[in-house]
Every structure is written in structure tokens, then in C-alpha cells.
Structure 1
Amino acid sequence: MRLNKYIFFSILLMLIIGGFVYSQIDAKYTFNLFGIPITLPVAVWIVVPMFIMFLASFFHMAYYSFINFMVLKRYKKDYDILVKSFANALLREPKINKYKSTEAKNLGNITDHSHIIPQDFRIETKDERLKRALDYVKDITNGIYVDISNYTLSPSNPLTVQNIKNRLKEEPTYSGVVLKNCDEYPKELCKEALQVYMGFSEVSKIKEYAKIFDFSLLLYMLEAKKDEAISHTDIIYILQQASMQLTIKEYLVLAQKTKDVLAPDERLKLFEILKNEDEKSEAAYVYTLLDLEMIDKALEFLDTVPEGELENFKAYLELKECGKNYPLELFICI
């Protein structure tokens, strides 16, 4: 029973009993309390013990109602924290929370250290916070960019990364924002942003992010910008800034890819520089000489090569001297 109802019916009962007794016994009674005579109607003396009992029970009930109120308040607060913990787990950004009750702590200690990945999104919940988190995860998973600025997600969060990828598809120019903040994001995301950035930027602008390059991105740039003016200095700059350590096969691939991008003299300058910096590029240098029909220069260089090295190109030239012309590509192993 609610306290207000208890008070009302208790007072009503005392009034009824007091009124009934007073209607039957219209007399007074004197009671000495610590030597002090107190004279009151008999009806009042009947009601006094009831009133004392009422006060005692009232304070007893009020005390335990307050205790229950505090317990419920604690559980309500724990529930709110648990909802927050579940939402963070759905967003793959678990955070440590403090719980009041043991029951909430037992559950929260798991969700505070977990990622929750729904098997499907046919989940019904009346809590708007969980519903909103589920909707965000659903949209991001389905390739839709959503504004999640009201959540504080780390740059390396997989949902953050995927959401940025979604935005790059919808808004390619956003790649410039990602590239300017690449220290915060995973390296692979920055590479993807750079690839998108190449779609609409000039080589001079692309070179500003040379440190992000890897060999595959370099090849992608050569293909994407083959109709633009790319010089050997652009490629050298990117290789140096990215600290690329290419293999013999990668140098040969680079030599092939630059055929349709660089002018003949630019190709020659590129591999002359690379040959002096890294001996692994010597095969690509000879390939370039032979492809440019610079036979004498190729022979001159091959004479300086130790025996047993670059034998494939030596064989190519020997066959050529015999009047047998085979495609140069047959003599390179990629």
C-alpha cells in the first residue's frame, strides 16, 4: 500500500472509532503522566494508542520505502550504465564503467571488454540508445555513410574505418581530409584514401603524400596518370620518401609500366639513377636499354657485370647477333 493511502485510511479508521466511542460514552478520564493529571474524553484515550501505533508503523514503512527507493534508484542507474555499455560494445568501443550492484557488475565486466557483432539486425528493442547504435552499425555495415559524431569512437575503430571508406565512395574529395590526418588512422585506410585522391588530383599534389606510398600505389598512380606529365624525378622522389625497398622483379615491373608513361629519355634517366642507388635495379636498367634499342650501351654495361649474372639478357643479345629476334619479354622473369 502507498504511504498516502495508508495515512488516509489510518486517520479515517481512528476518526470512525473515536467518533463511535464518543457517541456511546460521553465521559472523560483523567490519567496521571509523571504526576501531571491529563483529562481527556474516553474516546480520545481510545484513539491515542492507535495514533501511537500509526506513527510507529508510518515511520517503519517510510524507512523501508526510502531504502527500497534507494535500491531501485541504484538499479535504475546501473541499468542506464549497462545500456551504455551494450551500446559501446555494439559500436566496438568498449569502455570501463563503475556499477553499484553486484548483478550489474557481473554483466558489465563482460560487456565493458567485448565487441558485440549482431548476426542479423532483426533485433527489437524499445531502448532508443540501443536502437540508434544498432541502426548505425547496420547502415555502416551495408556501405552507407552515417554521421556518428555524437559518439566518441577511436580512429582505429573498425566501424570508424568502414564509415570513412563509405564516405570516400560517396564523397571522394573527403580523401584529402583523411590524408591530412593520416597519423590518426590505420595505414591501410590512408592508402585507400590516397588511391581515391589520385582520381582527381594532379601529380604535384599527390607527391605531398609520398610517404604513404607502397609499390602497388606507385603502379596505380602510373596507370591513373599515364596521360599526364610524369617525370623521372617524380618517381625517384616517391621512392625515396616512401623508403621503398624494391626487389629485382619489382624493378622489372616498374620498367615495364613506365614504357607507356615516361618519354624514352625520362625512362633512361630514371633507371640510370636507380642503378647507381640499388644494384637490384640493374636488370631493369638493362631491360630499358634493350627495349630502347640501345644495344651498344647494353653490351657495354653487361661487360662490367660479373659472370653468371644477367645471363638472360646476354642470351638475348647472342641470339640477336645470330639474326634470331625473339620478344624481349620472354627473357625476363616476373
Structure 2
Amino acid sequence: MRIGLYIFATLTLAAIVGAFVYTVNPNNYLLEVTGIHFNLPVAVWIILPMLLLLVFTIIHMLFYGFKNYLKLKKWQRDAATLDDAFYWSLINEPKDQKYALDEIKNSAMLLSKASIDMKENVEGLNSRLTKIINLIQKIKSGEYVDLKEHKMTKLFSENNPLLIQNRLNRLESDKEFVEEVMKSPSLFSKAVQKKALEIFAARETFYKARKYAKTFDAKNFKAMLKRVGGTEDMGLSVEILNEFVEGLKLECSDFVYIASITKKQFTPDQNLALFKKYQQNNLKAQNAYLYLLFEYELLEEVGKYLEEQNESEFIKFRALYELKQEHKKYKLEDLIEVDTVCNEA
């Protein structure tokens, strides 16, 4: 019952009782307390306890009403805090939260260490949670979301999976962003760096890739080499090739693959000069150099080179050399798979 209605009902009842008593006994009653005389109608003496009870009842109601008000405020604050905790867990950035009520704290504290992965949309949520869930679903579906437009750029840590996925989505549609990552790879996660490099290697030429030679790895360098010889002018030159080879950690198979591409692009003299230098600086390029010597049928050079090496090395090439001495019609590809020349038995 509302306190105003309660007071009105109580006063009305007291008035009715007082009026009834007054009609029955309109006389006064004298009461002396510590020398003080109270001479009041009997009706007043009858309703006086009712009024005192009303006063104490109102005080009681106000006290517990205020206590309930304070508790309600705590519930409201904790509800808002819980809402905030759900928000941060949804974006994979859980944070410690302070709760006033143990009833909520004992369970909600899990959210400070957990992330929420939404499988389906949920109806009936507040606008803030609904908005972030919709954005998350867009990111997961492969769509790029402009976080700056939604004032969310500062919400995510660099290793946040949603931020990484959103950047991966952007790489697929934003050519300028690909180059931005190539220019400043340290500002982005490893996954974004890797994807940007793959896209760049699949789309750009050596003219543009040249300035990012130190950013490349062998895998993506070879991916670009694979495109050489097609309809597009890839811009591969001796100078550019040197820059990449000097900046990359190449294995034996990498050098052989490079030689298999450059033999179609450069002159024999250019190729032999290149790989002679490479094998002098890096022993892993020796097989590639031998591969080119065989390709160009320079058997005398092959013989001299093998004589300078340990007899336990280059077994396949030695076997081929012996066969070529007797049957010059044999070619390298007839006896050895180019991809396996680095695998010594």
C-alpha cells in the first residue's frame, strides 16, 4: 500500500472512531502526569493511541523503504555493471568489475576471465549489446567493419581475435591497406602480416615488391616467381633478384626453384654468373649452380666443379655426369626430378 493512502485511511478510521465515541460519551477525561493536567475529550483519548501507532508505523515504513531503496540502487548499479561485463566479454576483452551485491558477484565474476562466443542472435537485448553482437556477426561472416565509424578503435587490444579477423577482412577488399601493412608490419599481428604478404605477392609485381624485399619470406617470393613468364610484366631483373636473395633465408630447394625460373628469363651467362656468386656465399646454392651447368650442357665445368667437392656429396649429379659422359642425349629431367635434387640418398 502507498504510504499516502495508508495515512489517509488511518486518519479516516481515527476520525470515524473519534466521532462515534464522541456521540456515545462527549465528556472530558482528566489525566495528570508529573503535575501536568491533560483534560481532553474521551474521544481524543481513544484515538490518541491510533495516532501514535500511525506515527511509529510511518517511521518504520520510511526506514525500511529507504533500506529497500538503497538495495534497489545496488541492484541497478550491479545490473549496469553486469551489462558492461557482458559487453567486454562479447568483444573478447574481459575486464575486472566491482559488484555491490554478493548474490551477483559470486557468479558474475566469471565474466572477468571469460569471452562469449555468440552462435546465434538473441532477441530482447538492450540496444548496446544488440549493436555489438550485430557488428561481431558481420566480422565473423567476412565483412569489414569500420571501427572508427563506430567509435570502437580503442576498445580492442592488438591480439584481439575480432580485431585480427576484421583486419583480415579488410585486406581482401582494400588494396591500400595491404600496402599499409607491408610498410609497417610491426604495427600488426603476425596473422595480418602473413595474409597481407600473401595477397601482395599474388597481385603485385617486382617493381613494387622491391622496396619490401626485407619483409618477404621464401614462400611468398617463390609465389611471385611462379607468376614470372606469364602475360604480366613482373619486372624481374638481375638486380632485383640479388636484393631478394640477399635478404631472404633460402634453402637448397629454394635456390633450385629460383634457377628453374630464371633460366627462362636471363641469359645463360647472367644465370651462371649469378649462381656462381650465390654458391660462393651460400653452400645451399651449390645444387642450383650444378643444375644450371647441366641445363646448359657445360659438362667440362660440371666435371671440374665435382672434382673440387667431397666424393660423398652430390651423388645424384655425379651419377648423371657419368651417364652424360657416355650418352649425351640424356637430360637432367630424364633421370632426376628437379624438386628432389637437394635430397641426397
TM-score, normalized by the shorter chain, greater than 0.5: yes
Letter in 2 for 1:137: I
Partner of 1:76: 76
Q: Distance in 1 between matches of 2:66 and 2:201?
A: 67
Partner of 1:158: 161
Q: Distance in 2 between matches of 1:219 and 1:85?
A: 47
Q: 1:299 aligns with which of 280, 298, 303?
A: 303
SS of aligned partner of 2:113: coil
Distance 1:182-1:107 versus aligned 2 partners, 3 A rule: farther
Partner of 1:137: 136
How far is 1:192 from its partner? Answer: 0.9
Q: Distance in 1 between matches of 2:48 and 2:32?
A: 15
Q: Distance in 1 between matches of 2:71 and 2:267?
A: 81
Distance 1:276-1:11 versus aligned 2 partners, 3 A rule: farther
Partner of 1:268: 272
Aligned residues: 331
Matched, 1:63 2:52: no
Kept in 2, the 8 Å contact 1:145–1:163? The answer is yes
How far is 1:296 from its partner? Answer: 3.8
Q: 1:321 aligns with which of 325, 335, 342?
A: 325
Partner of 2:294: 290
Q: Could you tell me the TM-score, scaled by structure 1's length?
A: 0.84
SS of aligned partner of 1:212: coil
Partner of 1:237: 243
Partner of 1:311: 315
Q: Distance in 2 between matches of 1:9 and 1:264?
A: 112
The unaligned stretches of length 5 or more in structure 2 are none
Q: Distance in 2 between matches of 1:27 and 1:209?
A: 111
Letter in 1 for 2:282: D
How far is 1:80 from its partner? Answer: 2.4
Mapping for residues 41-120 of structure 1, pairs under 5 Å: 41-118=41-118, 120=119
Residue deviations 1:206-248 (CA, integer Å, cap 9, x gap): 3443343221111122234652222344344334445x2x332
Kept in 2, the 8 Å contact 1:83–1:129? The answer is no
Q: Could you tell me the TM-score, scaled by structure 2's length?
A: 0.82
Q: Distance in 1 between matches of 2:253 and 2:122?
A: 52
Letter in 2 for 1:300: K
How far is 1:285 from its partner? Answer: 1.5
Q: Distance in 2 between matches of 1:279 and 1:286?
A: 12
Kept in 2, the 8 Å contact 1:179–1:209? The answer is yes
Q: Distance in 1 between matches of 2:7 and 2:270?
A: 99
Kept in 2, the 8 Å contact 1:88–1:94? The answer is yes
